[in-house]
């Protein structure tokens, strides 16, 4: 049996491009590595943009065996 955990990781402001930047990637890697060290396994992630495509966030879901 598994327990699940989801979290939102906001990304930086996107004025002229919707591409990920180095800071966003480094923050995502940091969160993923921290959760893995805590015993969480990545299940899914998705990028959620706002209607204006200026700012968004990653929705990340993990699981851990009980």
Burial class of residue 28 (count of CB atoms within 10 Å of its CB; 0-12, 13-18, 19+): middle
pLDDT of residue 42: 97
Report the alpha-carbon distance of residue 54 to residue 56 in Å, rounded: 7
Interval 13-54: pLDDT, tens: 665 555 667 888 899 899 999 999 999 999 999 988 766 666
This model's pTM is above 0.75 = yes
Looking at the structure of the chain, the number of domains it has is: 1
62/47: higher pLDDT:
62
DSSP bridge pairs for 4: 63
Domain residues for the domain of 43 are 2-65
């Amino acid at each position: 049996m598994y327990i699940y955990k989801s979290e939102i990781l906001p990304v930086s402001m996107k004025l002229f491009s919707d591409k990920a930047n180095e800071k966003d990637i480094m923050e995502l890697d940091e969160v993923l590595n921290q959760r893995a060290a805590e015993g969480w396994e990545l299940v899914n992630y998705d990028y959620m943009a706002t209607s204006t495509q200026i700012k968004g966030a990653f929705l990340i879901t993990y699981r851990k065996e009980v």
